[in-house]
């Protein structure tokens, strides 16, 4: 589509440029001229995690203008909605409305200022004061209106899971609850991160979600783009079990989710083949132990040794992730070999960091020779040791609640040796 001589199209690309600028800010502000293939891969991964939609490298290059075409790339609505969601809006329409209203406010201020410049000098100072006061008032009015539009939240509405505890597979039912009467036709949004698609929910509607992976799912209720409540769902296991798949959204049981030896947690290529996994394509293997406990997720010690493949066909950077799942939130560290340290990251409750934004090469290890991982958390202060060397210290704010599970994930085949988690105050072992 050509963008010449068309005011509507010009306005669209102006908004697209704004959206691209916001994406670059979110990715750390690296100039596009310095972007390499790995940057596009990272962006695709982050968009996929946030929106459940993965855009190809070529699509991202066209969007960012680094892949030249005869006419400027005009993305379809579904792609535009993904971009808007990635930078914090519900969809492209909300982004467009927000941008238009703030732009109108800026233009109104500029017009008022221009009037002042064309007035006679005799009345210049007085007129300038009046116009500036009116401009500030107009800006504040628009700003407050937008804030109210985006954050006006009926805080009394709660998200309830009717059956939060199950095994695999599990169908969890969600509904809304409020102490006071509210508009039962009011639309809310239910977000389950990468575990399921987003859904609308209202007081007159129940939503059922299907889960086929062991673990803990954190559901968040949104209203007008603001998170107002959360609920958790627990898919329990009987000891350590294995599941796998060719991507994280379609994992399935290995050896029927039978209990594995906790001293040597491993599944062989033959067992993966028996489960129907295509090992010629990139795949993941996950080991999970999910059960209720009274262990404090903000005061515990975890120890484990992990081994993984250095690489495999189609995957140059093989990752190892360790997740401590709480009743309210989780702790996560992602480990890679040194040459792939850009993909290391961590999340301790409300604090997270990406290797693309900060040097996390201390989290790198030799996967073939193994890494001994220790995670100590004391009063919301996390310490990570890798092969007896402290590599990370993180202070976070929000409690993750009681420990409800441990997951160890590998891109490819991996092995976990004797994972142990102990409450530092009571001595209870998970």
Q: How far apart are CA 405 and CA 63, in angstroms?
A: 40
Tokens of 262: 């906790």
Confidence of residue 235 (pLDDT cuts 50, 70, 90): very high
In terms of residues, how long is the chain? Answer: 430
Q: Which of 122-126, 192-196, 338-342 has the lowest mean pLDDT?
A: 122-126
Q: Which of these, 153, 167, 147, lies nearest to 220 by C-alpha position?
A: 153
Q: Is residue 112 within 8 Å of 134, Cβ to Cβ?
A: yes
The pLDDT of residue 155: 46
The pLDDT of residue 251: 60
pLDDT at 113 over 70: no
Backbone φ and ψ of 376, nearest 5°:
-110, 130
271-297 average pLDDT score: 89
Mean pLDDT for the chain? 84
Q: Is residue 318 within 8 Å of 308, Cβ to Cβ?
A: yes
Confidence of residue 123 (pLDDT cuts 50, 70, 90): low
The pLDDT of residue 259: 93
Confidence of residue 333 (pLDDT cuts 50, 70, 90): very high
**Which CATH number does 157-235 carry?**
2.60.40
The pLDDT of residue 2: 43
Q: How far apart are CA 113 and CA 117, in angstroms?
A: 7
Tell me the pLDDT tens digit for each residue of 130-166.
656 666 656 665 555 555 444 444 447 999 999 999 9
Asked if the peptide bond before residue 169 counts as cis, ω within 30 degrees of 0, the response is yes
The pLDDT of residue 183: 77
The domain made up of 241-423 has a fold known as Jelly Rolls (2.60.120)
Q: How far apart are CA 204 and CA 175, in angstroms?
A: 9
90-110 average pLDDT score: 78
93-97 average pLDDT score: 85
Tell me the pLDDT tens digit for each residue of 20-70.
988 998 888 888 888 888 888 888 888 888 887 878 888 888 888 887 777
Percent above pLDDT 90 for the chain: 43
Q: Which of these, 374, 368, 364, 373, lies nearest to 412 by C-alpha position?
A: 368
Per DSSP, the three-state class of 428 is: coil
């Amino acid at each position: 589509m050509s963008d010449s001589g068309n005011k509507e199209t010009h306005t669209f690309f102006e908004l697209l440029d704004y959206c691209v600028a916001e994406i670059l800010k979110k990715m750390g502000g690296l100039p596009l001229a310095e972007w390499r293939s790995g940057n596009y891969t990272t962006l695709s991964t982050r968009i996929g995690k946030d929106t459940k939609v993965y855009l190809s490298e070529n699509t991202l290059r066209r969007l960012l203008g680094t892949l030249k075409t005869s006419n400027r790339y005009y993305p379809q609505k579904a792609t535009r909605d993904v971009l808007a969601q990635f930078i914090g809006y519900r969809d492209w329409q909300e982004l467009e409305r927000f941008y238009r209203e703030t732009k109108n406010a800026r233009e109104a201020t500029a017009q008022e200022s221009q009037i002042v410049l064309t007035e006679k000098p005799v009345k210049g100072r007085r007129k300038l004061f009046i116009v500036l006061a009116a401009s500030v008032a107009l800006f504040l009015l628009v700003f407050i209106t937008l804030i109210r539009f985006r954050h006006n939240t009926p805080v009394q509405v709660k998200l309830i899971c009717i059956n939060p505890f199950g095994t695999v597979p599990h169908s969890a039912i969600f509904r809304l609850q409020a102490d006071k009467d509210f508009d039962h036709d009011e639309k809310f949004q239910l977000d389950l991160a990468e575990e399921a698609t987003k859904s609308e929910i209202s007081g007159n509607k129940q939503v059922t979600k299907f889960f086929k992976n062991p673990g803990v799912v954190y559901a968040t209720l949104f209203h007008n783009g603001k998170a107002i409540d959360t609920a958790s769902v627990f898919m329990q296991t009987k000891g350590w079990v294995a599941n796998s798949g060719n991507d994280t959204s379609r994992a399935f049981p290995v050896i029927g989710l039978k209990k594995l030896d906790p001293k040597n947690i491993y599944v062989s290529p033959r067992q993966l083949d028996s489960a129907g996994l295509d090992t010629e394509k990139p795949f993941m293997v996950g080991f999970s132990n999910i059960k209720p406990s009274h262990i404090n997720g903000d005061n515990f010690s975890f120890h484990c040794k992990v081994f993984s493949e250095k690489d495999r066909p189609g995957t140059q950077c093989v990752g190892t992730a360790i997740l401590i799942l709480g009743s309210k939130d989780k702790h996560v560290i992602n480990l890679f070999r040194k040459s792939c340290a850009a993909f290391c990251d961590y999340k301790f409750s409300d604090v997270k960091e990406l290797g693309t934004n900060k040097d996390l090469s201390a989290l790198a290890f030799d996967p073939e020779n193994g890494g001994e991982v220790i995670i100590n958390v004391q009063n919301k202060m996390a310490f990570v040791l890798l092969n007896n060397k402290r590599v990370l210290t993180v202070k976070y704010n929000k409690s993750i609640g009681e420990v409800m599970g441990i997951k160890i994930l590998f891109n490819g085949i991996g092995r976990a040796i004797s994972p142990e988690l102990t409450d530092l105050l009571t001595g209870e072992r998970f």
